[in-house]
């Protein structure tokens, strides 16, 4: 049991809350359109999300273990703290990657999800290497999480559609924006090791401006999704709450006061994701 808890902590399993509601929203958009709900498909979508995220987070912790050990904030993580052996962490990543690809194969009424699964893995694993050569790793992370709604939709229907695609772009801008805010706490460390990020490149004030612009784009897409989709009042309630929380983090995190970054990153965005996803799904079901 302790080992399981250690691995759940390694991948910050609780943070699945950021992407899972959007995967489920994509799933239920597909179900609403084809009018065919099946528990087996829902379980497969959830498993894909879990395996993909485990692989991505596990690889991030494995590949960044030396950086984490040198950073006072992250030195307590499982690998630098000696709780989990690096070799075992790598095996964990490989196993979850294989399970992800295998799971996509069982969407046996279409093969598109299976064919695209290696590309999805390349994106979500590749994010961890980006800070070594580009300041736009936050965008790559956003793309990784943005695969959730469109990926779930494709898994059910075997096709692309504008609504889940717009939702994916909304997630892309939302995640990229809040990851820039989160990266502010490592700005000095990144500069010292010449690791690239928006904060280490643009500085605190301009990074917050960049994040704000991304979140404005996300807000615009919340509205666009509402106007284009077949939604009722529940969607708009969820969209309004999501948007309020989206901009609330820019009120509590200022260039002169970064003390509330964790509140903005974990609590505010976690609640925003849950609320938006739940209201989307309820709107489709009721």
pTM: 0.94
Q: What is the pLDDT of residues 189-238, one digit of tens each?
A: 999 999 999 999 999 999 999 999 999 999 999 999 999 998 999 999 99
pLDDT number for residue 3: 81
> Mean pLDDT, the chain, as a whole number?
93
Phi, then psi, of 257 in degrees rounded to 5: -150, 100
pLDDT < 70 regions, the chain: none
Which residues contact residue 51 at a Cβ distance below 8 angstroms, ignoring those fewer than 6 apart? 96, 97, 99, 100, 103
What domain range includes position 125? 2-285
pLDDT number for residue 8: 82
pLDDT number for residue 265: 81
Which residues contact residue 127 at a Cβ distance below 8 angstroms, ignoring those fewer than 6 apart? 56, 60, 137, 140, 141, 144
Total structural domains in the chain? 1
* Integer Cα distance of 173 and 226 in angstroms: 17
CATH of the domain at 267: 1.10.357.140
b/e 178-194 (16+ beta carbons within 10 angstroms → b)? bbbbbbbbbbebbeeee
pLDDT number for residue 176: 97
pLDDT number for residue 9: 83
pLDDT number for residue 30: 95
* Secondary structure (DSSP) of 181-230: HHHGGGHHHHHHTT---HHHHHHHHHHHHHHHHHHHHHHHHHHHHHHHS-
């Amino acid at each position: 049991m302790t080992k399981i808890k250690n691995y759940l902590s390694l991948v910050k399993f609780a943070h699945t809350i950021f992407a899972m509601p959007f995967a489920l929203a994509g799933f239920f958009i597909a179900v609403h359109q084809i009018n065919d709900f099946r528990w087996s498909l829902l379980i497969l979508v959830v498993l894909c999300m879990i395996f993909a995220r485990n692989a991505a987070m596990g690889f991030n912790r494995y590949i960044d273990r030396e950086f984490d050990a040198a950073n006072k904030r992250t030195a307590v993580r499982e690998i630098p703290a000696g709780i989990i052996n690096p070799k075992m962490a790598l095996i964990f990543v490989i196993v979850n990657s294989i399970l992800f690809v295998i799971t996509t194969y069982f969407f046996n009424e279409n093969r598109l999800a299976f064919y695209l699964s290696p590309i999805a893995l390349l994106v979500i694993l590749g994010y961890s290497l980006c800070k070594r050569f580009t300041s736009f790793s936050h965008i790559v992370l956003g793309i990784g999480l943005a695969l959730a709604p469109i990926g779930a939709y494709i898994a059910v229907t075997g096709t692309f559609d504008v609504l889940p695609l717009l939702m994916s772009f909304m997630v892309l801008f939302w995640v990229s924006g809040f990851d820039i805010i989160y990266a502010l706490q490592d700005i000095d460390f990144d500069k010292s090791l010449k690791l690239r990020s928006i904060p280490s490149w643009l500085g605190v004030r301009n990074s917050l401006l960049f994040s704000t612009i991304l979140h404005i784009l996300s807000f615009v897409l919340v509205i666009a999704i509402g106007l284009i989709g077949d939604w009722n009042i529940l969607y708009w309630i969820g969209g309004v709450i999501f948007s309020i929380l989206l901009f609330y983090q820019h009120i509590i995190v200022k260039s002169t006061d970064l003390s509330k970054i964790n509140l903005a990153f974990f609590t505010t965005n976690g609640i925003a994701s849950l609320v938006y996803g739940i209201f989307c799904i309820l709107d489709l079901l009721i």
